[in-house]
Copies of this chain bind each other. A is one copy, B any other.
């Protein structure tokens, strides 16, 4: 790609959108400039553009994103067959298990939820399609990493910020690589409160007819109700059934 085949104004604008996050629902021009590292004048132009197009509101001081911004992500969710195909199966799975069921794919060091059927909420985090979690400490992340060639998985772990979210979180890259081998061998991953105390989950890969891993499915449960050790006997069969049902339908 040539230098001139890149629209930097567009790229800068996308960075500005992403500056709005968890902790930042309202941004002033200076805030957004600080977060993105862009010049204030540039950020101002981007924000005014967003506001002009209806993607943001502006009260003269602060900018907030409007629901219209969801059109952008929705373009993916409705255009990509996977979420649509998977959703009804997750609904069934969730109902049979009495727990939340989700599907996600890998994006860099993170997993991205592309579909979810939630039962009563047990986590402090609100997960919706589009939500992201670090791959190294999520059951679906383990499954997706295990599907990669070892050097790639290792590279992703190297790029990850391996934080101990709880005392149970595995953060040693070597230990994680060993865990990935086990996951690869047994065909599923179990996480016991490594992301958040009180939460455990079990995940399996979702493969297409050519045996390529294209996503992961999981069931999450409160540790208080279901011990991690019981996850496999309770839910593995259900997950495997869903995995098998979806296999001929994807890609």
The A contact surface, by secondary structure, is helix
- How close is A42's CB to chain B, nearest CB, in angstroms? 8
A75 at the B interface (CB under 8 A):
yes
A12 at the B interface (CB under 8 A):
yes
Partner of A45, one of B6, B17, B66: B6
Report the interface size class on chain A: 35 or more
Q: Quick one: given A49-B10, A81-B25, are A121 and B87 in contact (CB under 8 Å)?
A: yes
Question: In the complex, are the beta carbons of B115 and A68 less than 8 A apart?
Answer: no
Q: Which residues of B contact A129 (CB under 8 A)?
A: 70, 128-130
A37 at the B interface (CB under 8 A):
no
| Bound form: Cα–Cα A185–B112 in Å | 43
| Bound form: Cα–Cα A77–B114 in Å | 14
| Bound form: Cα–Cα A83–B118 in Å | 14
Closest to A92 in B: B120
Interface string of A49-77 (1 = CB under 8 A from B): 10011110000000011111111111111
- How close is A144's CB to chain B, nearest CB, in angstroms? 12
Nearest 8 pairs of A and B residues by beta carbon? A73-B73, A10-B13, A9-B9, A70-B130, A74-B130, A25-B79, A67-B112, A20-B75
The contact sample of 12 A-B pairs, CB cut-off 8 A, is: A1-B48, A10-B49, A14-B55, A17-B75, A20-B79, A25-B79, A65-B80, A68-B107, A68-B108, A71-B73, A83-B126, A84-B126
